[in-house]
Amino acid sequence: MRQKLINKSEPQKNKNLLKSSLAKNTIVAEAISLQSLLFDSNINKENWIEGLKYHSKTLTNLLLNNQLEEFNQYLQSQFHGGISEMFPVAEFSRTSFEAKKGLTELDYIPILQDLLQTAILIEHSTIPPYLTALYSIKDGTNVLASQIIRSVAVEEMLHMIMVCNVMNAVNIQPSVNQPENYPTYPMKLPMNVDFFVGLETFSSNSIATFIAIESPSNPLVKAPKYNYEAKPNALLSKSMVQENNPWTLENMKDFIMQNVHTIGEYYDVLFFYIVVFQIVAYYKANGKLPQTFEELNKGGIFTGDPVKQIRPEQYYGSGGKLHPVEALEGVILVFQEIKGQGEGADDSIFDVDASQFEVGAELAHYFRFKEIFHEHFYLEGDYTPFTDENGMMPVTTPPVGKPLPVDWNAAYPMKPNPKMADYESNPQLFEQGKAFNETYKKLLDAIQAAVEGRGEELAKSIMYMYALKEQAIGLMSQPLNSQYNAGPTFEFPS
């Protein structure tokens, strides 16, 4: 039988507080408890999915929004008492060994390695398309649009490096420069999406794709102010526990493919998985379940070498803030930064709380790309017609502020998704395409060296970024056939 989120014996004030703080993300249907989700080997696939939907939203909403007091109350309500309270005492006494063994022998390393490497692939998948569109803009034109695309591309590089920090924090070596780490275009992001990402010239079509990539999870956002200055039963046998265990990489990835539609949602579910394994590690080390964030924060799966962390002083980019990771709180900061820059923070169009700045608050990626597409800025626009009584407007609301001039014709007519095979009959283009791919590989090599503990190597990537632009323009300015010009392929050099 499914259990309610809050144990019936929990004080009513805690129920109300949790309901209040989680209202916008609550799944209507009752969900099994977090304790059952993690420990009940009798749980079926349907209830596991339902519980995962509920608790991933609940837990993530609390921790990624810094609601630590509410999170502690939620944790205590879910882990009230011992595991044995879930089952009849007589039954549990006969099977507690199997329960504990199945829990403590859960190998999180290959699961987190796969899921975090997928996060790196997601971030990496956006960089070549953004750089391709940027490099295709002819010099001296679309200056504002170029600045926007460049700023987003730099921040995606930051995101990739911070995911590497998370991997190193849990003692898993990240990889960014091997053939299997390369996106192959055109491609779908590894989520439940219905659009393809590819290498295209700067156009309304490529910008529309970028908007789709950065789509927010929430349908509503705070409207900018007008003239705003940018400031169970018995446990099963051991064999059945292993056979029916829903916590497998296949099931966890399948949940993402079926239920995750945006990059922000991917990070939400990934964060939940990380917390789950930290809970398991805490139980294994202490023989009891955690009751507070402080108990859950340090130790556990966070056994990585701090020397491998890329720190702010080593990062060359100007956009965003780089966070090292040595505990769960570092993962929170990383995911807040990535989600905020991509889809907005605190239900706003800004990548951070705009009140923290006197001037220069920056829009999240989604809204920056919408400014280019609609050829207007958000700020200094009147959004009263789109705004409800709570000051919220649909994220699809177009910017209606001052004009942002765009010349859609001032870009090289590059062939979409070019391949080195396209240049085999043209030795000059082949050599240029090869040189570009070798430079891009050197950039990734510099990042790889940095995340392996040689942080000083990261500075070399600046030189490679400048070289990439020159080499890309060299390709894009040359005709490939009567319809298209050549372009960079971002393939692994053979």
Residue 288 lies in a domain: yes
pLDDT digit string, tens, across residues 32-57: 899 988 888 788 889 999 999 999 99
The average pLDDT across 384-392 equals 92
Are residues 307 and 205 located together in one domain of the fold? yes
The domain total for the chain is 2
**Least confident residue range of 48-62, 79-93, 182-196, 208-222:** 79-93
User: According to the model, what pLDDT value does residue 360 have?
Assistant: 43
Are residues 476 and 346 located together in one domain of the fold? no
Which pLDDT band, with edges at 50, 70 and 90, does 103 fall under? low
Which pLDDT band, with edges at 50, 70 and 90, does 231 fall under? very low
Are 324 and 105 in contact, with CB atoms under 8 Å apart?
Answer: no
The average pLDDT across 209-238 equals 67
Last residue of a domain, one of 411, 427, 458: 411
pLDDT digit string, tens, across residues 304-323: 999 999 998 888 665 678 99
396 vs 387: CA distance, rounded Å: 12
Q: Is it the case that residue 453 has pLDDT exceeding 80?
A: yes
Are residues 461 and 367 located together in one domain of the fold? no
Stretch (H or E) spanning 362: none
Q: Is it the case that residue 65 has pLDDT exceeding 90?
A: yes
Which residues have a Cβ under 8 Å from the Cβ of 127 and sit 6 or more positions away?
Answer: 153, 156, 157, 160
Are residues 228 and 278 located together in one domain of the fold? yes
306 vs 295: CA distance, rounded Å: 20
Are residues 175 and 234 located together in one domain of the fold? yes
- Residue 184 backbone phi and psi in degrees, to 5: -115, 115
329 vs 357: CA distance, rounded Å: 24
Read off the CATH number of the domain in which 220 is found. Answer: 1.20.1260.10
Query: Is the pLDDT higher at 73 or at 27?
Result: 73
Are 355 and 345 in contact, with CB atoms under 8 Å apart?
Answer: no
334 vs 302: CA distance, rounded Å: 15
- Mean pLDDT: which of 12-21, 316-325, 383-392 is highest? 383-392
Q: Is it the case that residue 15 has pLDDT exceeding 50?
A: no
User: According to the model, what pLDDT value does residue 356 have?
Assistant: 33
Q: Is it the case that residue 105 has pLDDT exceeding 80?
A: no
Are residues 289 and 419 located together in one domain of the fold? no
Residue indicated by tokens 């990059």:
263
Query: Is the pLDDT higher at 52 or at 346?
Result: 52
End-to-end CA gap in the chain: 57
167 vs 459: CA distance, rounded Å: 21
User: According to the model, what pLDDT value does residue 355 have?
Assistant: 39
The average pLDDT across 62-68 equals 95
Residue 8 lies in a domain: no
**Least confident residue range of 95-99, 396-400, 458-462:** 95-99
The average pLDDT across 395-415 equals 96
Write the DSSP symbol of residue 45: H
Task: Name the residue among 222, 213, 225 with its Cα closest to residue 365.
Answer: 213
Q: How far is CA 230 from CA 142, 240, 359, 361, 374, in A?
A: 22, 59, 5, 5, 20
Q: Is it the case that residue 12 has pLDDT exceeding 50?
A: no
Are residues 137 and 245 located together in one domain of the fold? yes
Residue 42 lies in a domain: no
Are residues 425 and 492 located together in one domain of the fold? yes
Count CA within 13 A, CB hemisphere, residue 464: 19
Number of H helices, E strands in the chain: 16, 2
206 vs 369: CA distance, rounded Å: 10
Q: Is it the case that residue 293 has pLDDT exceeding 90?
A: yes
User: According to the model, what pLDDT value does residue 477 have?
Assistant: 97
Are 379 and 449 in contact, with CB atoms under 8 Å apart?
Answer: no
* Bond preceding residue 398 cis, omega within 30 of 0: no
Are residues 179 and 325 located together in one domain of the fold? yes
Q: Is it the case that residue 235 has pLDDT exceeding 90?
A: no
Neighbours of 194 (CB within 10 A): 7
Are residues 294 and 402 located together in one domain of the fold? yes
Last residue of a domain, one of 380, 411, 442: 411
Q: How far is CA 163 from CA 124, 303, 438, in A?
A: 11, 16, 24
User: According to the model, what pLDDT value does residue 102 have?
Assistant: 53
Q: Is it the case that residue 171 has pLDDT exceeding 60?
A: yes
Residue 330 lies in a domain: yes
Question: Whole-number mean pLDDT of the chain?
Answer: 85
Range of the domain at 474: 415-494
Residue 55 lies in a domain: no
What are the structure tokens assigned to 238, written together?
Answer: 């051991």
User: According to the model, what pLDDT value does residue 257 have?
Assistant: 95
C-alpha 345, offset from chain centre: 14
Which pLDDT band, with edges at 50, 70 and 90, does 121 fall under? very high
**CA gyration radius, the chain:** 24
The average pLDDT across 132-145 equals 97
Q: Is it the case that residue 91 has pLDDT exceeding 80?
A: no
291 vs 71: CA distance, rounded Å: 9
Residue 383 lies in a domain: yes
Residue 80 lies in a domain: no
The average pLDDT across 444-451 equals 96
Q: Is it the case that residue 269 has pLDDT exceeding 60?
A: yes
Are residues 159 and 229 located together in one domain of the fold? yes
Query: Is the pLDDT higher at 93 or at 173?
Result: 173
Dihedral sign, Cα of residue 118, residue 119, residue 120, residue 124? positive
Residue indicated by tokens 């156009």:
203
What are the structure tokens assigned to 177, written together?
Answer: 């420069």
Which residues have a Cβ under 8 Å from the Cβ of 171 and sit 6 or more positions away?
Answer: 301, 303, 304, 305
Residue 53 lies in a domain: no
User: According to the model, what pLDDT value does residue 30 have?
Assistant: 60
Which residues have a Cβ under 8 Å from the Cβ of 487 and sit 6 or more positions away?
Answer: 132, 136, 199, 201, 412, 414, 415, 418, 472, 475, 476
User: According to the model, what pLDDT value does residue 175 have?
Assistant: 98
Q: How far is CA 85 from CA 52, 78, 79, 122, in A?
A: 21, 12, 10, 41
Residue-wise DSSP of 198-245 = ----SSHHHHHHHHHHT--SSSEEEPPPTT------PPPPHHHHHHH-
User: According to the model, what pLDDT value does residue 396 have?
Assistant: 93
Last residue of a domain, one of 376, 394, 411: 411
Are 380 and 228 in contact, with CB atoms under 8 Å apart?
Answer: yes
pLDDT digit string, tens, across residues 328-339: 999 999 999 999
Query: Is the pLDDT higher at 90 or at 71?
Result: 71
Are 282 and 60 in contact, with CB atoms under 8 Å apart?
Answer: no
User: According to the model, what pLDDT value does residue 346 have?
Assistant: 67
User: According to the model, what pLDDT value does residue 14 have?
Assistant: 41
Q: Is it the case that residue 217 has pLDDT exceeding 80?
A: yes
Are residues 343 and 448 located together in one domain of the fold? no
Dihedral sign, Cα of residue 265, residue 256, residue 305, residue 286? positive
Task: Name the residue among 155, 119, 197, 63 with its Cα closest to residue 342.
Answer: 155
Q: What are the percentages of helix, strand and coil residues in the chain, rounded to 5?
A: 55, 5, 40
Task: For the chain, give the percent of residues with pLDDT over 90.
Answer: 68
